[in-house]
Amino acid sequence: MRPRPSCTPTTRRVRSPVALALLAGGCATAALPPPAVREEARAAPTYSGRLRISLKGPALRARTRALVAFRRPDALRIEIPGPTGARLVAVAREGALAAVFPGDRAVFLGAATPAELDALLGVGLAPEEVIDLLVGVGSPRLRSYRARWGPALPAQIEATLPDGSRLEARVEDAEAGLALPPAAFAEPPHADYRRVSAAEARRLWGAR
């Protein structure tokens, strides 16, 4: 089934230093950009963006804003903002996954595998697969993948995950190839936080 054409915000360069460290106008098109643009996006060593995420799956339905950043080969940061600060800060790097919930003083620690990311976030992909997805490359394990491009990066992403969940991401702002501080991918502080399971961690961010 072909998605209906729609206007989506084009990606643009993020100018706020805070947004860059953490981590519109126009109508995006489903047409692919020139090959040179796609190759530059695929080769991007870093990425920082603000997205609107919609996830519809057998065990989880969620809509949320998210700040997402990556540094190749496998460092990934996902932050879900709340009304008074970060609701969730999750960092995957070098095979480890740490997710903290500052408002609840809770932490989940696990491995950065598709199974653990699925249990925590409902997205059963490896960090490397999430990284590629953001820059226009669909993993062979996806049931479907479609990216509508802005001038330099995907502006809207629609994917069917391996378990049949539907993931949609609308990119409000993004930039690739910028210098991100090492602290962006450090394990979030969690001294004295209580340890929680992936199921409880999912309830902490998904039930609000």
- Residue 76 maps to a domain: yes
User: Which helix H or strand E contains 68, and what residues bound it?
Assistant: strand 61-71
- Residue 78 maps to a domain: yes
| Antiparallel, parallel or unpaired: β 61-71 and 46-56 | antiparallel
pLDDT tens-digit readout, 45-87: 999 999 999 999 888 899 999 999 999 999 999 999 988 899 9
- Residue 3 maps to a domain: no
- Identify the bridge partners of residue 101 per DSSP, sorted by sequence position: 106
For residue 190, give the CATH number of its domain: 2.50.20.10
Tell me, what's the pLDDT at 19? 45
SS3 of residue 36 by DSSP:
helix
The C-alpha atoms of residue 162 and residue 178 are separated, in whole angstroms, by: 31
Q: List the one residue out of 123, 157, 168 whose CA is nearest residue 141.
A: 123
- Residue 5 maps to a domain: no
Instruction: Report the sign of the C-alpha dihedral through residues 145, 175, 99, 181, in that order.
Output: positive
Both tokens assigned to 167: 């993931």
pLDDT tens-digit readout, 169-207: 999 999 999 999 999 999 999 999 999 999 999 999 876
- Residue 12 maps to a domain: no
Tell me, what's the pLDDT at 31? 72
Q: Which structural domain range is residue 102 located in? A: 17-202
- Residue 163 maps to a domain: yes
- Residue 94 maps to a domain: yes
Tell me, what's the pLDDT at 207? 61
pLDDT tens-digit readout, 107-157: 999 999 999 999 999 999 999 999 999 999 999 999 999 999 999 999 999
SS3 of residue 80 by DSSP:
strand
- Residue 98 maps to a domain: yes
Instruction: Report the sign of the C-alpha dihedral through residues 142, 28, 55, 65, in that order.
Output: positive
Both tokens assigned to 200: 């409880």
Tell me, what's the pLDDT at 58? 84
- Identify the bridge partners of residue 54 per DSSP, sorted by sequence position: 63, 168
Tell me, what's the pLDDT at 60? 85
Number of folded domains that form the chain: 1
User: Which helix H or strand E contains 202, and what residues bound it?
Assistant: helix 198-206
E strand intervals along 102-141: 106-111
SS3 of residue 130 by DSSP:
helix
- Count CA atoms closer than 13 A to 199's CA, side-chain side: 1
E strand intervals along 150-187: 154-160, 166-176
